[in-house]
């Protein structure tokens, strides 16, 4: 068993172990004592893993109810959020009770938001089942739903009380969804961990437990420095400024992981053009991303990407904080004027 502790406004443990799901009830009882639980999951994960979690809760005499959403981003909406809150209220969950988010980032963001606002905040457990959720969304307390105007426009910071990560769940993940998660894994190596980057070259599936531990340790450190996303935490957006623009230009037909992969390559090419990283580092980055079956070239022009990036509903002011790799393992934020963005992105196309 690998354990990482996050010391944010709330301190909590991330437990990582193959086969851990069958002991989920024991860890939840150790953390919360006697509580009633609301399992939140999607239909795909429900069919694959809910029965294991339910059996683990039953064996510890922990009562539960369950809320199942259709799989996919479209479910991260206000209607499902309110239905979940109503279900918990009908079943008289109190502030002593807790939510279990069993699934990928969609389930984790929705369930975490519900936990953050139900009775002004109850505790919750993240049980991530995608690679992206294991290394990123289950840790750090960002929760959200999407609004008609854009993704993640409503949410709260609300840290989980426990994260239970069973890498065996990745065995059923479609290979394209696994690859999407690899884009976020590679991100941690480039941001501040050259050693992790080199480990990834040996194969991600082959060393999955160590890699998840390393990624969440990196994320924990960044969250501890800047829980509320005012500076350092923005480094986690490596590849995301252009990535979000690609998602938008494609009307979300290009997956998040593919878009971040292309965005990361563009950021590295920009760095190379500014003499901030070497050609070898650029080539290593492209090679590692390609090896995961992820794309590296933008189907859109610098002008299209700049327009989409500046239309981002969460942007404010006349500058954008762009994450730039000063070599592998050392990223910094660079303030770019919105009026200079197209020319800047052009250097990476």
Q: Which residues bind ligand GLY (CB under 6 A)?
A: 136, 140, 142, 229, 233, 236
**Could you tell me which of 101, 104, 253, 256 has the C-alpha nearest to residue 172?**
104
Decide whether 135 or 282 has the Cβ nearer to ligand NAD: 135
Under rule CB under 6 A, residue 78 binds ligand NAD: no
233 binds, among ligand NAD, ligand GLY, none (CB under 5 to 8 A by kind): ligand GLY
Residue 213 to residue 13: CA distance in whole angstroms: 12
Decide whether 105 or 325 has the Cβ nearer to ligand NAD: 105
Would you give the binding string for ligand NAD spanning residues 138-177, x where CB under 6 A is met?
--x-x--------xx----------------x--xx---x
∠ Cα 104 13 230 (to 5°): 75
Bridge pairing between strands 11-16 and 162-165: parallel
Under rule CB under 6 A, residue 133 binds ligand NAD: yes
Q: What is the DSSP string of 244-303?
A: HHHHHHTTT-S-HHHHHHHHHHHHHHHHHHTTSS-HHHHHHHHHHHHHTT---S-SS-HH
- Helix ranges (DSSP H) in 141-193: 175-192
DSSP H or E stretch at residue 53: helix 51-59
Under rule CB under 6 A, residue 16 binds ligand NAD: no
236 binds, among ligand GLY, ligand NAD, none (CB under 5 to 8 A by kind): ligand GLY
Q: What is the DSSP string of 13-52?
A: EEEE-TTGGGGHHHHHHHHHSS--EEEEEEHHHIIIIIHH
Decide whether 196 or 236 has the Cβ nearer to ligand GLY: 236
76 binds, among ligand GLY, ligand NAD, none (CB under 5 to 8 A by kind): ligand NAD
Under rule CB under 6 A, residue 73 binds ligand NAD: yes
Decide whether 11 or 171 has the Cβ nearer to ligand NAD: 171
Interacting stretch for ligand NAD, rule CB under 6 A, among 4-12, 52-60, 135-143, 190-198? 135-143
209 binds, among ligand GLY, ligand NAD, none (CB under 5 to 8 A by kind): none
44 binds, among ligand GLY, ligand NAD, none (CB under 5 to 8 A by kind): ligand NAD
**Could you tell me which of 166, 14, 22, 153 has the C-alpha nearest to residue 78?**
153
Give min distance, CB of 223 to ligand GLY, in A: 7
Give min distance, CB of 108 to ligand NAD, in A: 6
From residue 4, how far is each of 11, 194, 217, 221 by CA, in Å?
11, 20, 6, 10
Give min distance, CB of 198 to ligand NAD, in A: 24
Check if the beta carbon of residue 98 is closer than 8 Å to that of residue 124. yes
DSSP H or E stretch at residue 66: strand 64-69
Residue 324 to residue 327: CA distance in whole angstroms: 9
Q: Which residues bind ligand NAD (CB under 6 A)?
A: 42, 44-45, 48, 71-73, 76, 103-107, 109, 129-130, 132-133, 136-137, 140, 142, 151-152, 169, 172-173, 177, 180
């Amino acid at each position: 068993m690998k354990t990482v502790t996050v010391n944010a406004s709330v301190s909590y443990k991330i437990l990582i172990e193959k086969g851990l799901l069958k002991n989920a009830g024991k860890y939840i009882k150790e953390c919360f004592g006697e509580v009633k639980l609301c399992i939140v999951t999607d239909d795909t994960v429900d069919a694959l893993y809910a029965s294991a979690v339910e059996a683990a809760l039953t064996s510890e005499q922990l009562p539960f109810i369950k809320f199942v959403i259709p799989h996919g981003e479209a479910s991260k909406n206000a209607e499902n959020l309110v239905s979940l809150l109503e279900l918990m209220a009908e079943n008289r969950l109190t502030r002593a009770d807790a939510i279990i988010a069993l699934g990928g980032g969609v389930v984790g963001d929705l369930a975490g938001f519900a936990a953050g606002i139900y009775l002004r905040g109850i505790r919750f457990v993240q049980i991530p089942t995608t690679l992206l959720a294991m290394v990123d969304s289950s840790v750090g307390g960002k929760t959200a739903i999407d609004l008609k105007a854009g993704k993640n426009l409503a949410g709260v910071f609300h840290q989980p009380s426990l994260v239970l990560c069973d890498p065996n769940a990745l065995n059923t993940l479609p290979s394209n969804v696994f690859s999407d998660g690899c884009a976020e894994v590679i991100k941690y190596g480039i941001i501040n961990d050259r050693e992790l980057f080199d480990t990834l070259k040996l194969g991600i599936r082959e060393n999955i437990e160590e890699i998840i531990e390393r990624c969440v340790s990196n994320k924990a450190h960044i969250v501890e420095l800047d829980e509320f996303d005012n500076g350092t935490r923005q480094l986690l957006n490596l590849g995301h400024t252009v990535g979000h623009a690609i998602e938008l230009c494609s009307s979300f037909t290009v997956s998040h992981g593919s878009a971040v992969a292309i965005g990361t390559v563009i950021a590295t090419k920009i760095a190379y053009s500014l003499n901030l990283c070497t050609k070898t580092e650029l080539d290593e980055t492209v090679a590692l991303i390609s090896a995961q079956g992820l794309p590296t070239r933008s189907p859109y022009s610098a002008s299209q990407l700049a327009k989409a990036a500046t239309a981002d509903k969460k942007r404010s002011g006349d500058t954008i904080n762009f994450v730039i790799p000063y070599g592998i393992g050392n990223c910094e934020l660079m303030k770019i004027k919105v009026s200079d963005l197209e020319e800047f992105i052009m250097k990476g196309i």
